[in-house]
Amino acid sequence: MSTPQTYTVPNLLAGWPFKATPNPHAAEINAESTAWVASYGAFSAKDQATFDRWNFGAFAALAYSKADRAQYRAGVDLINFYFVFDELSDQADGPTVRKQADAIMNSLNDPYTSPPPHEHILGIMARDFWIRALEEAHTSPSTAKRFTETFAEYTDAVVQQAEDRDLGRIRPIEEYLVMRRGTVGVRPSLEFFLLSEDVPDEAIRHPQVEKLVLGVIDMCILANDIYSFNVEQSYGDKNHNIVSVTMAEKGMTVQQAVDCIAERYTQVSKEFLEDMKRVPVFPEPTETYVRKYVLGMAYWVCTDDDWSFITPRYFGEAAAEVQVHRVVQLLSKRS
């Protein structure tokens, strides 16, 4: 039972009919990707050790469990890159994050153009990651187009998050969710399920498939914000978490807000499973590709939940205990 000093996190995926298993290439390639990140010196030695301990490779191992070696390397590099950008942008103001985002998108849109002088480290990393994905993982033209388009939406949303942070702005719940659907970074990540397959937009952007995309995005937002709330509130971050936003708008306690969000999660997850049954049949080979994409989304949902208790990022050394007993001790505010 929760007290004012504790709260209980729900078992969001009780009865979820999918379970991901790690990619067999993960152990070897995760080490390569970790070394790749460290080679840029984006963090101090202490912060790099923390970054490594958070084990983003474990997320990639489950999310891209069916990828071949080259495709998996692209996937784990992408996941690691997200969190490098996340860490650097969290420490910056809006104009600085705009420069970071522009550097990234310049590299993704024109990877083979000579880099500008004094290119930002995020631009250098993005260029290296993307050229490797294009050449070694044989990224198809259609995937490349959708990925760069959706990654631009993601970086723009991160800029908006920074601007909100500068202003101390707390958005209403539904307005917050619109922006959070960008900053969560799920949509571009889904493109890596079909990295080398050339799939028409009419299939991937079909309205019924799009319902599933929005469902998995919202489930990831709701789950991630519940799990990350404790650390974020300890740092005084109140403007970019659905728990804090719900507390502010509805005058709720932490537990009431978490329970309210969990109810929404349950409804979205039920709709997702029903919508999976309504995906239309396409001519082959598009049919096979779409089914792979849809199944990848179902695995992404449980990956997001499983990894939240593998990493110490949210619950520290108590992650395994929290996964069993579900009780979280509220952290004191940090100076």
Residue 16 lies in a domain: no
Residue 231 lies in a domain: yes
Residue 206 lies in a domain: yes
Residue 302 lies in a domain: yes
Amino acid at 272: F
Amino acid at 90: D
Return the axis-axis angle of helices 242-250 and 207-234, rounded to nearest 10°: 80
Share of the chain above pLDDT 70, in %: 99
Task: State the alpha helices, DSSP H only, in the chain.
Answer: 26-38, 45-53, 56-63, 69-90, 94-109, 121-135, 141-167, 173-183, 186-190, 201-204, 207-234, 242-250, 254-276, 286-310, 319-325
Residue 83 lies in a domain: yes
φ/ψ bin of 321: left (φ > 0), alpha (ψ from -120 to 50), beta (otherwise): alpha
**How many Å apart are CA 216 and CA 300, to the nearest integer?**
8
Residue 7 lies in a domain: no
Q: State residue 314's pLDDT score.
A: 97
Residues 312, 53: contact at Cβ < 8 Å?
Answer: yes
Instruction: Assign residue 220 the CATH number of its domain.
Output: 1.10.600.10
Residues 255, 7: contact at Cβ < 8 Å?
Answer: yes
Residue 10 lies in a domain: no
- CA dihedral over 308, 311, 313, 314, signed as positive or negative: positive
User: Which domain range does residue 175 map to?
Assistant: 21-323
Q: State residue 334's pLDDT score.
A: 80
Q: State residue 71's pLDDT score.
A: 98
Q: State residue 335's pLDDT score.
A: 63
Q: What is the pTM of this model?
A: 0.96
Query: Helix (H, G, I), strand (E, B), or coil: what is residue 249?
Result: helix
| CA neighbor of 291 nearest in space, from 189, 219, 206, 188 | 206
* Vertex 22 angle, CA 290 and 67, to 5°: 40
Q: State residue 62's pLDDT score.
A: 98
Residues 58, 23: contact at Cβ < 8 Å?
Answer: no
What is the tally of structural domains in the chain?
Answer: 1
Instruction: Count how many Cα atoms sit within 13 Å of the Cα of residue 27 in the half-sphere of its side chain.
Output: 1
Return the axis-axis angle of helices 94-109 and 69-90, rounded to nearest 10°: 160
Residues 240, 181: contact at Cβ < 8 Å?
Answer: no
Q: State residue 238's pLDDT score.
A: 76
Which parts of the chain have pLDDT scores under 70?
A: 1-3, 335
Amino acid at 159: V
Tokens of 10: 């729900």
Q: State residue 28's pLDDT score.
A: 97
Return the axis-axis angle of helices 45-53 and 26-38, rounded to nearest 10°: 160
Q: State residue 3's pLDDT score.
A: 52
Residue 141 lies in a domain: yes
